[in-house]
A and B are shown apart, each in its own frame.
Chain A
Amino acid sequence: MKLIEITDLSVQYGSKLILQNINLSLADGEIVTIVGPNGSGKTTLFKAIIGTAPINTGTLKIRPNLKIGYVPQQLIIDKTLPITVERFLKVAQKTNVKTLANAMNLVGTEDLLTFQMNNLSGGELQRVLLARALIAQPDVLLLDEATRGLDQPGVATFYRMVDGIRKNTNCAILMISHDLHVVMGASDRVICLNGHICCEGAPNSVASSPEYQALFGSEVDGTFALYRHHHDHNHHTDNERE
């Protein structure tokens, strides 16, 4: 069976419908990227998968004993809570020296172990969160805008790391990202979300679909459109520059 199978899912908070008619599945070792504007329900979809969002209708099947490594968009630890990186990595998950060392090696956090979590920089915190997710030896990694707050080289390094993780561990990766031009190439599939699934498929076909362009066409004219210009089809967007 697939790792995750979502059928006709809808999520509603109070009277506000956040997600509707979501159909999505994730197979072993697959990298799927979810793109969508702010407020399109990307994080809510993740919360539904990990079980903290109320499922209104539809079904969400998770393979039994599936290990999920979740990297949240941000982690704010109250200043009153003293905790070292080492302790954080081990909270409520069994690990041994080897797994811990491997995970930290993979994301390069060995020298951070004795640091207080509150003293980490944005990039360091992201790597620690990723290391924590990897220690669980997950079958699937959920990355929610994991490169938030990183600079361009940082983003590039992060995705190289993610690529390395998949090669080394063969875990599936489901990620939410705004780094369109970077993630598109690395994904097996792209899903364009805006409350419902607007379009999905291979990165190229999604990038050229009218639904996708309606959402992102003008927003990314500087980077993405230029990057795609060698394609011969016409984009038909007003803001396109030649």
Chain B
Amino acid sequence: MLDDFMTRATLAGIGVSLAAAPLGCFIVWRRMAYFGEATAHSALLGVALSLTFEFSVLAGAVLVSLLMSISVTLMAGRSLFLDTLLGVAGHTSIAAGLVLVSFLSGVRIDLMAYLIGDILAVSHMDLLLIWIGVGTILSLIIWRWSPLLLVTLNEDLASANGFNPKRENFIITIALAIVVAVGIKVVGVLLIIALLIIPAASARSIATTPEAMGFFAALIGASSALFGINAAYIFDTPTGPSIVCAASLFFIALSLVSSFLKRKKHN
């Protein structure tokens, strides 16, 4: 069954979406969209380094993303605000990555595969690594769900209840770096932020509790992967962008329905 490239692609897509969506809720609640984007961009430098020095792309992406997000977090607030620093670090990484790859003239590298993903080329090994990453992220999020939620609501409240806000924030940073790394094969560094943000934003209009929002986001994310991959197969379109377009359709549909229902309620 796993020998079929479509099956592998579908399993990879669903896996990454499932992990990205609940994490994406925290990214949305904490207004970290730009942080997520910069983390994803910096992964490209990790990819370039791993191609240059011939080690695992996944490890390269995780390491450079983590290094970027940690150093930016430590530097923030001294003389520049976080969003400026993220802009500097994220775009420096993506530019440096592209420059670095240009030196690798001996090897033909399809950069597009890293920018927007190459899900149809997911190997058995890739699939295994993706699902290890997915399992890690989901376990982290489920295990720390309540403390993470409390820290998101108010750091002082969390601290008074005996939780360490810095530690909980670090868990988000780590999960983000892993999701970016496993998402490279699926939607690439340019679009992974979409799998974090769009399902969460879509779920907002139908959820009344944080847990429901996380659950709906995962459902919407996985459905987007399923629809997107099949649509890409039928219409012969690039797969990663098709998944993101499917998610956007969910967002538009759910936003329209919920605003229609609200108006009806008011009348």
Q: Which chain A residues have a beta carbon within 8 Å of chain B's beta carbons?
A: 46-47, 50-52, 68-70, 72, 75, 77-78, 80-84, 87-88, 91-93, 116, 132, 136, 142
Residue in A47, A51, A87 whose beta carbon sits within 8 Å of that of B209 in the complex: A87
Asked if B209 and A92 sit within 8 Å, CB to CB, the answer is: no
Asked if B29 and A91 sit within 8 Å, CB to CB, the answer is: no
Q: Evaluate whether A75 and B153 lie within 8 angstroms (CB atoms) in the complex, with A81-B29, A82-B209, A87-B210 already known.
A: yes
Asked if B156 and A72 sit within 8 Å, CB to CB, the answer is: yes
Residue in B159, B200, B212 whose beta carbon sits within 8 Å of that of A50 in the complex: B159
Q: Binary interface profile of B, 196-229, with partner A (CB < 8 Å = 1, else 0)?
A: 0000110010011111110000000000000000
Q: Which chain B residues have a beta carbon within 8 Å of chain A's beta carbons?
A: 28-31, 146-147, 149-150, 152-161, 163-165, 200-201, 204, 207-213
Asked if A81 and B208 sit within 8 Å, CB to CB, the answer is: no
Please name the residue on chain B nearest to A66 by beta carbon. B162
Residue in A78, A82, A87, A142 whose beta carbon sits within 8 Å of that of B31 in the complex: A78
Chain B residues, Cβ within 8 Å of A132: 157
B148 CB to nearest A CB, Å: 9
Asked if A82 and B150 sit within 8 Å, CB to CB, the answer is: no
Asked if A82 and B213 sit within 8 Å, CB to CB, the answer is: yes
Chain A residues, Cβ within 8 Å of B28: 80
Chain B residues, Cβ within 8 Å of A91: 146, 149-150, 153
Asked if B157 and A72 sit within 8 Å, CB to CB, the answer is: yes
Chain A residues, Cβ within 8 Å of B154: 72, 75
Please name the residue on chain A nearest to B77 by beta carbon. A14
Asked if A92 and B161 sit within 8 Å, CB to CB, the answer is: yes
Chain A residues, Cβ within 8 Å of B157: 70, 72, 75, 132
Asked if B209 and A78 sit within 8 Å, CB to CB, the answer is: no
Asked if A92 and B160 sit within 8 Å, CB to CB, the answer is: no
A225 CB to nearest B CB, Å: 34
Chain B residues, Cβ within 8 Å of A78: 29-31
Of B30, B31, B201, B210, which is in contact with the most chain A CB atoms at under 10 Å from its CB? Answer: B210
Chain A residues, Cβ within 8 Å of B212: 82
B223 CB to nearest A CB, Å: 20
Asked if A92 and B31 sit within 8 Å, CB to CB, the answer is: no
Asked if A70 and B160 sit within 8 Å, CB to CB, the answer is: yes
User: Once the chains are docked, how many angstroms separate the CA of A83 from the CA of B211?
Assistant: 9
The 6 tightest CB contacts between A and B, nearest first, are A70-B160, A92-B146, A92-B150, A50-B160, A81-B29, A50-B159
Asked if A52 and B29 sit within 8 Å, CB to CB, the answer is: no
A221 CB to nearest B CB, Å: 34
Chain A residues, Cβ within 8 Å of B165: 52
Please name the residue on chain B nearest to A88 by beta carbon. B153
User: Once the chains are docked, how many angstroms separate the CA of A93 from the CA of B146?
Assistant: 9
Chain B residues, Cβ within 8 Å of A75: 153-154, 157
B30 CB to nearest A CB, Å: 8
Asked if B149 and A92 sit within 8 Å, CB to CB, the answer is: yes
B110 CB to nearest A CB, Å: 37
User: Once the chains are docked, how many angstroms separate the CA of A72 from the CA of B161?
Assistant: 13
